[in-house]
Structure 1
C-alpha cells in the first residue's frame, strides 16, 4: 500500500468515526427529547385536571394544594371552549392580555392588548400537539400546550453542538495541515539545496575529464563526446533546478513552442525508437518561463508518457492558444494504458505512484512548478483506460504576435 492510499484510508476511518459520534449524539438527544416531551404532556394533563378540580373543590386546604400543583406546572398552555374562544392561558407573555380592558385601564396598568399574539400562539400549539380534552361544568374544553423553552433548546442543541464541533475540526485540520505542509516544504527545500550542492563537485570534475579526453585523444569532433557534454550540461541543469526550489525564480519571455521543441528533441533520442514523437503548434505564442524548471515539467510528463506506453506507441505535443482569454494550452497526449477517471486528481498527490519503485513525486512537483512558479494550471484533460491520456498545461501569455493564428 503506497503512502497516499494509507493516508486516504485514515481519512475514511476518521470520517466514519465522526459519523458514528454524530449519529450517537443525535440519537441520544432524540431519546431525551422524546422522554421530556412525554413528561411535559403528562404535566399538561395534570394542569388541565387541576383546572377541572377547582370547580368541584370546597375544602380550603385541598384547594390550596390544587392551586400549588397548578402553579408548579409551567408548561405554556391555552384553554379554549368548543367555539375556539380562549378562556385562560398559562406560561405566556405576562405583559400582554387576551382580556379586553378599558384603554385608560390598559394605560394605567402598562398593559398592551395584542389578540394577534395569542392567536399566533394558539395556532403554533395546535401544530405541535393534539389537545387535551376535558369537561368542566358540562362545557367541553380543549387544552393546547407547546414545548417548554428547555425542550425547544434541547431539540436544537445537537445541531448547534455538531456545527460547533465541525467548525472546530475544520479550523484545527486547516491549521494542522498548514503547519505540516510548512514543515514538509522546509524539509524539501533543505534537501533540494543540499542535493544541488552535492552535485556541483562531481559535475565540475566530469567537465574537466571530458576536456582532458578530448585533448589526449584529439576527439573534439567525436559525436560521442558531444553527447557526453550534452549529458553533463543536463546534470548542470538538474542541479540548477534543485538550487531554485524554495526561492522565487526569474521568468523570462520565451516562445513556448521553441522551448518545448528544444526539450522534446533532446528527450526523444534518449528513449526507445519504438515510440514516435509528433509536435505541432504556433511558434509565436510567448509566455514567461523559467527554462530549467519548465524543462523539469516536460521531463516528468514525457517520462510518464513513455512509462505508460508498453511497447510501440506515440506521443503527441500540441501548442495552441485562446486570444480572448490570453491563455496558452500545451497538450501532451500518449497512447499508453490510461488513467481511471477517479484518479484524475489523485495522480498529483505526493506519494501516489503505479510503479513499484516510484516515489510518486514527479507529478506533484510538476503541479507545484506550474502553479506556484508559473501562475498556470495543469490537469488531466482526458484519459481512457487502454487508449491513452492527455495532460494539459495552461499558461498566461505575455503577448500575442499580431500574425499569430490561433
Structure 2
C-alpha cells in the first residue's frame, strides 16, 4: 500500500493547474494533509521545484492584482511550502527553496492587507520554517529576522496598528529563528533595542487590564523572546545600556518564573528546544508532530534526545541516556617458531640453498606468513589502544 502513495501525491500535483478552483483547493488540502501525516522524503526530493513554483504562483498573483486564487487556496499553498521544507532532507534542495521564497514571502507581508490575517499568519510561519531549515548559515537566518523586525517596527507606515494575533505570530517567528542562531554569530549592531522593545510591549499589555486570547499570545511571545535572550546570555547584544547582567536581574527572574508556569509539565533540554518544538506544532499539529518526531530525519537531527524512543510522546522522550559501550575480546594465538638466524644455522650440520630460501621466505621476507601474522596482531593492538583512548575522552 505504501508503494502506491507517491502515485496519489503525483495526482495532486497534476490537479494544481486545474481550471476549477474547488479541484485545486482539494488537491492542495490533500497534499498538505499527506505531508503532515508522515514524512514523504523521497517524494518531495523529486518534486520540490514543482511544488515550490506552483505554490509561489498563488502568492505572486496578489501582487499582480489577480483574483484567480481564493484566500483559502493561498493559505494552503503557503502551508505546503512550510511542509515541503520540513520534509526536505538534503540541504541543497532546502536552500534552493529558501532562495526561491525569500523575496516572495517578503513582498507578501507588504501586499496582503491587514484584514487578510490568515494569509499573513501563514506567511510568517513559513518565513520561520524556511529560514530555520533552509538557510545555510546564521547570516541567512539573521537576514529573515531583520525582515520580521522591520515588519514589527512601529515606525513602519504599513504596520502602525498590527492585529494582536499577527503581532504575536511575528514575535513567535522571530524568537524561533533566534533559537537557531549561534550566539557568537549574532550581530552586535542590529538588536540593541530588543530588550527595551519586548519589555515595553509587556508593560503595555499589562496596563490594558483585560487580556483576551490574542493579547495573551503577544504576552507569551514577548516573554519567550526575553527569556531566550537571557537564556543564551546575549544581553549585551540586545541592550543599549552600558551595564549588562545586573540591570536585568529582577526582570530575568520574573521572566523565568512566567516561562516555568507556561511549560505545562514539559520536560525538554532547554528553552530553545521548547520554542522550536512548539513552533513546529503550529505547522504539524499534535499528531503530525509525533509522527515526524518518530520518522522525519530532520527532526532526528534537531531533536535527537526527543526522538530516540519511537511511539512515545515527545515530552516523555527526554531522558539522561547512559552511554552504551560494547567490549570485544579478541584472542590471537601465535605459534612458536625456532630462531632462524645465522647462529641457529651454524648448529645445523648441513643446510642446502633450497632450504635456506624456504627459511627466508617463512621467517625473514616481508611477505612471509610470520610477518603477516605479526603485522595483523600489531594492527589490532593499535586499533584497541586508539579505541580505548577515544572512549576515555567520551565517557570520562
**Under a length normalisation based on structure 2, what TM-score does the superposition of the two structures give?**
0.23
Q: Would you tell me which structure has more strand in proportion to its own residues?
A: 1
- Bigger fraction of residues in helix: 2
> Rg: which structure is higher?
1
In the superposition, the TM-score normalised over structure 1's length comes to 0.22
